Amino acid sequence: MENTVLSIEGLCINARAPILQDISLQVRRGEIFGVIGESGAGKSTLAMAMVGLLRAGCHRVAGKVTLAGQSLFDLSQLQLEQVRRRKVSYVAQSAAAAFNPFYRLGDQVTELAALELGTPLAERRKMAEGLFRELQLPNPETFGMRYPHQVSGGQLQRAMIAMALINDPDLIIFDEPTTALDVTTQLEVMRLIRKIVTARGCGAVYISHDLAVVAQLADRLMVLRHGKVVETGATRDLMESPAQDYTRALVAAKTTTSPPVHAETSVPIIALRDFAAGYGGVSTVRDINLDLSAGHITCLVGESGSGKTTLARAIAGLVDVHGGTATFHGKPLAPRIESRPREARRRLQYIHQLPDLALNPRQKVREAIGRPLAFFGGVTGAAAEERLRMLMRDVELPEDLLDRSPGSLSGGQKQRICIARALAADPEVLICDEVTSALDPLVEESVIQLLLRLMQTRPLTLLFITHNLGLTRRFAHEVAVMQAGRIVEFAPAAQIFAAPQQAYTRTLLEATPMMARGWMEARL
């Protein structure tokens, strides 16, 4: 087809094991082609192959990549470099890492203009200024004089898109460009991408693990799993009538609303009044009034830097408390964990975002879970063995994992081990700090379902910290919205989502990508 910018036919790439198997796709001018898959699906290898690049240790076994009429793997190194300079651009996930810290942004953005066309400096400044203006960057005249570390993550991401536009490419590859951004910034970048592709008529590939984002942006979609194509088709068709089980599960994980089981009582188990906390004398969170109702899930939402984690850590006694009161079952809760009696510590357990960092890599799973059993419950010997097996059953893991090291487990398994470790203390309150944000969508869904099942069988109260409003909508009883260290709105979930009272809550809700058709169009 004349309109085709990129075509991949039967591409197979191996490292030691196959990474990509028999991948075929075509991208046309003016369309956004979405690639969705979980980590390890081969998304990044595919993205690199689109510019004719194979990472160290990888080799192409079969297949062809044709970009702008040239078969990339048949070109010499010099020809390949020329194609990359003229025909294609790449927008990486972490703009902070993809910009060279040594040079000013303007010089990096216009490097290709200098190399290819020999554009003089003054003219390049003008080009950069124009692009920065197009991408709505602040002070476009002087933005290029900044170094990468001097601008925010969202601005850097936009600067990288400016860099991608400098050579007026036929194809732009977006490799998870919004994963590191807050929802409101993510929406801005999504709008920009849509606008650019429409205005310039270039082709685009958008790679992501977030189905909601891809569903809104892409015209056509390819689902990738374990290096193989699960299915390809128009986004609408895939969303509405997925042919494969895996796609169905992905869609279901984003759309099902499992109404949470409402607990009978709603007595506050933890109550904060005018609570303030922070690091080194600076109160990062202030004026906090929050009740955690027994048996409920309270979601603490907000963008990065809003103080969610600081507040959670302050409740756990890990951060200096600067004022106000915290009570547990109506009795004052000592501010520092060191001054809390063992019994109080047992009743409040914390699960971290990254299980990799929260588990000692040298400890076997048995030791990791056994320690709180012995420390809080004094359970040892045969009784402990019995409890360990029960806990493994509770978190739905096979018992033989007890003798494994964390290094040999998957991300989802590790997070389940962390949950089991917290449960070993037999707690009343679980603080879950972004416990699923490092997990793939289906694994995230299974961990959420696990937490819900656990809450049915024991009296647990959850403080669930997340930036994922889609998730919050599906399982929170109460929602507290944080902004700049304060709770701007705290209400039952139904009320927050149906009738948000605060402008900021509305902004957040607006920006959260939904699967519904037309969501993106309504925001252009």
Partner 1 sequence: MNLPSRKQLSPMRDFIVSRGVSGAVSLLLVTFLVFVGTALLPGDTASALLGQNATPEALAALRRDLGLDQPLLLRYLGWFAHAVRGDFGTSLASGRAVSEVLLPRLGNSLLLASVAAVFLLPVAVGGGIAAAIWQDSWFDRLLGFTSMLFLAMPAFLVGYILIYVFAVRMGWFPSMSVAPFFGGAAAWINILALPVISLVIIGQAHTMKLTRTAILAVLATDYVLMAEVKGISRRRIILRHALPNALSAILSISILTVAYLIVDVVVIEMVFSYPGLGKLMVDSVSYRDLTVVQACGLLFALIFIGMNFLADFLALLVNPRQREPARGA
Q: Encoding tokens for residue 382? A: 């045969």
81 in contact with partner 1 (CB under 8 A): yes
134 in contact with partner 1 (CB under 8 A): no
> CB of 83: closest distance to partner 1 in angstroms?
7
End-to-end CA, the chain: 30
Q: For the window 140-169, what string marks contact with partner 1 as x by the rule CB under 8 A?
A: -----xxx-xxx-----------x------
Which H or E element spans position 391? helix 381-394
85 in contact with partner 1 (CB under 8 A): yes
> CB of 168: closest distance to partner 1 in angstroms?
14
Q: Give CA separation, 251 vs 237, 319, 412, in Å.
A: 12, 39, 19
Give the nearer residue to partner 1 in terms of CB position, either 113 or 344.
Answer: 113
Q: Encoding tokens for residue 189? A: 């970048």
Among 23, 27, 46, 92, binds partner 1 (CB under 8 A): 92
Give the nearer residue to partner 1 in terms of CB position, either 100 or 304.
Answer: 100
Report the half-sphere exposure of 326 (CA within 13 A, side-chain side).
24
> CB of 488: closest distance to partner 1 in angstroms?
25
CA dihedral 450, 258, 225, 16 (to 10 degrees): -10
115 in contact with partner 1 (CB under 8 A): yes
Give the nearer residue to partner 1 in terms of CB position, either 156 or 451.
Answer: 156
Give the nearer residue to partner 1 in terms of CB position, either 85 or 364.
Answer: 85
231 in contact with partner 1 (CB under 8 A): no
Stretch that binds partner 1, among 83-91, 218-226, 324-332, 453-461 (CB under 8 A): 83-91
> CB of 93: closest distance to partner 1 in angstroms?
9
Q: Determine the size of the site formed for partner 1 (CB under 8 A).
A: 31
Among 94, 119, 289, 502, binds partner 1 (CB under 8 A): 94
Full DSSP string of 222-285? EEEETTEEEEEEEHHHHHHS-SSHHHHHHHHHHH---PPPPPS---EEEEEEEEEEEETTEEEE
Report which of 259, 297, 319 is spatially closest to residue 429, judged by C-alpha positions: 297
484 in contact with partner 1 (CB under 8 A): no
> CB of 45: closest distance to partner 1 in angstroms?
13
- Count other Cβ atoms within 10 Å, centred on residue 6: 24
Which H or E element spans position 291? strand 282-293
Among 33, 99, 328, 475, binds partner 1 (CB under 8 A): 99
Which distant-in-sequence residues (6+ apart) come within 8 Å of 350 by Cβ? 312, 313, 316, 318, 422, 430, 431, 433
Give the nearer residue to partner 1 in terms of CB position, either 73 or 147.
Answer: 147
- Given the DSSP bridges, would you call strands 461-466 and 297-301 parallel, antiparallel or unpaired? parallel
Give the nearer residue to partner 1 in terms of CB position, either 97 or 121.
Answer: 97
* Residues 426/391, Cβ–Cβ less than 8 Å: no
| Rounded-to-integer distance, Cα 204 and Cα 519, Å | 20
Among 28, 64, 86, 200, binds partner 1 (CB under 8 A): 86
Scanning residues 16 to 75, which ones bind partner 1 (CB under 8 A)?
Answer: 48, 51, 53
Vertex 55: Cα angle to 68 and 232 (nearest 5): 55
112 in contact with partner 1 (CB under 8 A): yes
226 in contact with partner 1 (CB under 8 A): no
Chain centroid to CA 190: how far?
A: 15
Which distant-in-sequence residues (6+ apart) come within 8 Å of 234 by Cβ? 219, 220, 221
80 in contact with partner 1 (CB under 8 A): yes
Give the nearer residue to partner 1 in terms of CB position, either 151 or 290.
Answer: 151
121 in contact with partner 1 (CB under 8 A): no
Binding site for partner 1 (CB under 8 A): 48, 51, 53, 77, 80-86, 89-90, 92, 94, 97-102, 111-112, 115, 145-147, 149-151, 163
